[in-house]
Chain A
């Protein structure tokens, strides 16, 4: 395929993905907006007013970056895992397999489709948060780089999950039993400086903690970890997961007999 043809194929996959999640917006765009609004009201306004300051900021301002990141992570992951697994289930993945699209274009297309939903949700949640608190961006490049890389990383995770999944239960196990606990324990609602030393140490092996804190650094200028270390970690994970996903595609894991 020529580079122009490859770009057309990539664009086709991304447009198809965007068309899919916008067509079913009550399932894809509305729920995170409602959930995050409830978080803002309950944790930010009602409970947050009794908690007081956290990390030098009022509680609502402190949790907003974490909640945005939580929405981005879950949406990026969910988009790719559900879309790609549905294609496997309906066998429409064969449309791609018989075509000359290179594996890396397939991967890039799905990841960008997941990022489109994740970042779109991130934007919606950010706009909703403005109704509850003021957001003064401390470091815009850090915000943009962190949210883009995190979205890409979890879209990659969703892709691998979909490749490995053989039934619908398999695509809900990771989000329910891995992503949700790691996100909740990743410093979305609290600073790990509040934890005893042992649990601070345990928290440091949670990769989502780094992403949430790098993003919080970009918005508020405070972080429990070095944000540049966090960016480095995200890049390492992206490289690793990309290599795994491409190898699985080449071998046809779960998609070719």
Chain B
């Protein structure tokens, strides 16, 4: 299978001397749903900015579906659709005009552009707003407008930089469904997000970046296997005032009074229930605590920060 994106030795040094990327290597396979994760200022947006030609690279190679951006930039761009983090459309233009104009920039004739714009505006629930100036849209609608605009030329690789930032839960879920559908239809998707729950729910492969370096580049499954401890959340029939003492299972109460229990790999859950039964605590429901990825992410970033501090000394 070909790679949708290949990055080799990517370095970016800004004019003030700040080195945002210190030699990034990254491959994203065609058809993948890929997450690029990292704290603020880690280099996510710079990396994607270089891929999309919004940032000039200092050194390194970037290929989109085999097209080198140094020698075949136009071909590389034809394969790319970009949804940036910040709203970047003319706020005074109408929704339909924004999408058809973008199609025009890709050389799509107006008649065809109108058909494609209608298709994606309908899919994203914006068709009834097609004659509305963009500034009149809600935040969620503006995000969906940027997705429609990025898809109007039917790119093979869709890059989304924080696509659900500031979007309510219901809309976020509907955007996830839409993106999963796009991915199933064959579009390779790369996203950066602060919602690690989002990456865990959507992506198959993940890279974690910090201080301009890739800390981890692997599959989500492999990454999650590195978690030795899984946390379960148990709702109890009667409210607990203190967390019980369980032999071999650290536990605590969360903010809503539910019981959180850490279970190491290989430990059976039966022993938990036996001890709870003995203490007279009746469990009404149980679930795995979400954001397992978040735990791993925080651990990696903290380890990297500690290494960096050690290096400075």
Question: A residues near B, CB below 8 A?
Answer: 1-2, 4-6, 8-9, 11-13, 15-16, 19, 23, 86-87, 90-92, 94-102, 251-252, 256-257
Contacts and interface: CB of A to CB of B under 8 A. Distances in A.
A23 to B, nearest CB: 8
B105 A102 contact: no
A76 to B, nearest CB: 21
A91 B84 CA distance: 10
Contacts of B88: 90-92, 94-95
Given A12-B105, A256-B54, A91 B86 contact: yes
Interface of B: 14, 49, 52-56, 73-75, 77-78, 80, 82, 84, 86-92, 97, 101-102, 104-110, 149
The 4 closest A-B pairs by CB, nearest first: A5-B107, A12-B104, A99-B105, A91-B88
Contacts of B80: 98
Nearest to A5: B107
Nearest to A106: B105
Contacts of A1: 74, 78, 107
A8 B78 contact: no
Determine which residue in B102, B107, B109 has the highest number of CB atoms from chain A within 10 A of its CB, and name it: B107
A109 to B, nearest CB: 10
A209 to B, nearest CB: 38
Contacts of A96: 105
A256 B110 CA distance: 28
Contacts of A12: 101, 104-105
Contacts of B55: 256-257
9 contacts: A6-B107, A12-B104, A16-B104, A91-B86, A94-B54, A99-B102, A99-B105, A100-B106, A257-B55
Given A98-B54, A100-B77, A257-B49, A9 B90 contact: no
A111 to B, nearest CB: 17
Given A87-B90, A94-B88, A257-B14, A11 B104 contact: yes
Contacts of B104: 8-9, 11-13, 15-16
Nearest to A255: B54
A91 B87 CA distance: 8
B156 to A, nearest CB: 14
